[in-house]
Amino acid sequence: MPSPRLRPLLGALALLLATPLVGVAPARAQISQEQAFQRGRAVNLARMRAEAINGGLGVYRPAACMYVRSGGDCLVRADAEGFLFRFYGGPPGAAQLGQPPTVETEILIAPDGRSVLSVVYNGPPRSQPGS
């Protein structure tokens, strides 16, 4: 049992530690979860649009980064204008065989991740990956 002089201090310390955790932490977690959800939705939409405009999964596969929920290295920018993805692709299995990509795609997705704002570029690679 703490001494009578320490009891008020321990009570105040317990109150100070408990109060901020109740009011502040959940709001930050919700914002972060919502942003992560929008980014995940955006990367899925960008990947599916690229698959569709390049002939479907039977003839085209986007870069592996487009299968990462965050967009990985394919995410160029995320801001108030939306999510900008730039990535390479090619025939199924080409990446695993070390073959160069045959298509470069750049797509802008709305900030909420629900719509394609623009297919900025979809064509032969303007440069090779890593250059």
Q: Structural domain boundaries of the chain?
A: 7-123
pLDDT of residue 79: 93
pLDDT of residue 7: 62
> pLDDT for 6-20, tens place per residue?
566 556 555 555 544
Which is higher by pLDDT, 45 or 128?
45
Residues 6+ away with beta carbon under 8 Å from 38: 83, 111, 112, 113
Element (H, E) at 85: strand 82-90
Q: Is the pLDDT of residue 21 over 50?
A: no
pLDDT of residue 25: 44
Highest mean pLDDT range out of 68-72, 93-97, 102-106? 102-106
pLDDT of residue 5: 66
